[in-house]
Amino acid sequence: MPGSAISRAWHVRFSALTAIRLPEFFKQMHLNTIVVEDEAPARELLVDYVISNDHLNLGAVAKNGREALEKLNEHQYDLCFLDINLPFLTGLQVLEQLDYTPYVIFTTVYKEYAYDAFEVGAVDYLLKPISRERFDMAVERAYSQISSIATSNVTVRTDENPGILLQHKGVHHFVRIPDIVYLTANNKNTVIHTRSQDLEVNALIKDLHGRLPQSTFVRIHKKYVINLNYLDRMETEENGKFTIFLKNDDETILPAGTMYVRHLRDQMGM
């Protein structure tokens, strides 16, 4: 895990241009949740908390890092309660090996891992023993972040001139969706790479991707989303890993996660 904050050359924040009301869907939404905890008493407590919370649905339980990695690769959960110190793989190692980054609430008895946890975009960091009040506060924070996709200050137009509206230093900017080549996750920010410039915005890549046309923008890695219109080719390396080549001016080359490649091939009929 990197020990220092990632430097940012420049930063653009999205500003709301229109008010968007929260749909009924999000008011009734249940987050499919996995609990990863090796100690039985703590695991049983978390399971009890999850089951009795109106926002959550218990989807799976894992007792060690290896089991957690298997279950998280089998299914993309909305929310993960993840212990940091686990047998076989630590919680941080589990996230490193995943092809995607779920919303994570870390649970641990150690305060010293908090910095690393928030560096990887953790929603919250709970110190054991975990009270019901503190658990509910973390869930509300996660629920708010996930449902914010509906109230995001990213304004996406899908009319005859589709694009993203944003405001920077009092000036309105319009980025055409066809000009977006790919997205890069940078902790809780996302870099939008267009044909002419790179803009770093204060939005999670999963939320921004969710507001773009799914038929055109495809996740290829936990850090990258590409516009299929700029896909040149995909190659398999000798080690079995995949590489994506884009047909933009920079001739960008990106790694692709195995799970995402399967989806990409299915979507393109490959």
> φ and ψ at 158, to 5 degrees?
-125, 25
**Contact status, residue 250 vs residue 264, Cβ threshold 8 Å:** no
> In the prediction, which pLDDT does 252 show?
94
> In the prediction, which pLDDT does 263 show?
73
Which residue ranges in the chain fall short of pLDDT 70? 1-29, 99-100, 117-120, 147-161, 165-173, 267-270
Q: What is the DSSP string of 200-257?
A: EESS-HHHHHHTS-TTTEEEEETTEEEEGGGEEEEEE-TTS-EEEEE-STT--EEEE-
> In the prediction, which pLDDT does 246 show?
95
Distance, in Å, from the CA atom of 5 to the CA atom of 26, rounded to the nearest integer, reads 33
Q: Which domains does the chain have, with CATH numbers?
A: 24-147 (3.40.50.2300), 155-268 (2.40.50.1020)
H or E element, residue 42: helix 40-51
Residue 23: CA count within 13 A, CB half-sphere:
9
H or E element, residue 180: strand 180-186
Q: State both tokens at 188.
A: 């809780």
Contacts of residues 133-140 at CB distance under 8 Å and 24 or more positions apart, as own/partner, are 135/46, 135/49, 135/53, 136/49, 136/53, 138/105, 139/53, 139/55, 139/56, 139/79, 139/105, 140/55
Q: Which residues of 87-120 are buried (b: 16+ CB within 10 A; e: fewer)?
A: eebbbbbbbeebbbbbbbbbbbeeeebeebbbbb
Spatial strand order of the sheet with 103-108 comes to 56-62, 31-36, 79-83, 103-108, 124-127
> In the prediction, which pLDDT does 83 show?
95
**Contact status, residue 125 vs residue 118, Cβ threshold 8 Å:** yes
